[in-house]
Structure 1
């Protein structure tokens, strides 16, 4: 991945992290990694644990960020979320997977997207 694309991805994650923080969510992890992959954001809203996949675009020439979160990517996020919970000894509350699309300064978050 080029430095420009990495910077664009970090920018989008910064904006989405701020979006959650402004709504009272607590940020637990950013770019949590394991051998199987990476979770962009892990946040909590009280008892609910939320895993958010963030896609940032500089234009919609190749589709929106939401369109880039394919079925296969959704399945990967679910597997990684399960691994995250297992590594931390479980989670008593509900789990949720969100999707975030960033273009320019516009942030859209679909809660319980998949």
Structure 2
């Protein structure tokens, strides 16, 4: 899925970044700001989506805030949180701005 983002012009900033709040699978930069991607894999994309629990979303959001706090623009940084769903055949479905508080 990283290649799909790079093909769109995104720059990879970090992979499997770990902060005090938790881990983020993929962090990229695009023209609009920073994109945080959570990857979920299961037999189907629907099953992969169901694996994401509200508690985990809160952890991801906290980790994203922790990450941007280190940047020059801090919490004023434009952020987007995407979900990458992978099925057993390797098909990837990207859901932009899928994660919210």
User: Which interval holds the TM-score relative to the shorter structure?
Assistant: 0.7 to 0.9
Q: TM-score, normalised by structure 1?
A: 0.75
Q: Tell me if 1:101 matches 2:78.
A: no
Contact 1:55 1:100 in 2 (8 A): yes
Contact 1:30 1:40 in 2 (8 A): yes
* Partner Cα separation in structure 2 for residue 54 and residue 111 of structure 1: 12
Gaps (5+ residues) in structure 1?
A: 1-15
Question: Following superposition, which runs of at least 4 residues in structure 1 exceed 4 angstroms of deviation?
Answer: none
Residue equivalent to 2:48: 65
Residue equivalent to 1:83: 66
What's the RMSD between the two structures over aligned residues?
A: 1.7
Gaps (5+ residues) in structure 2?
A: none
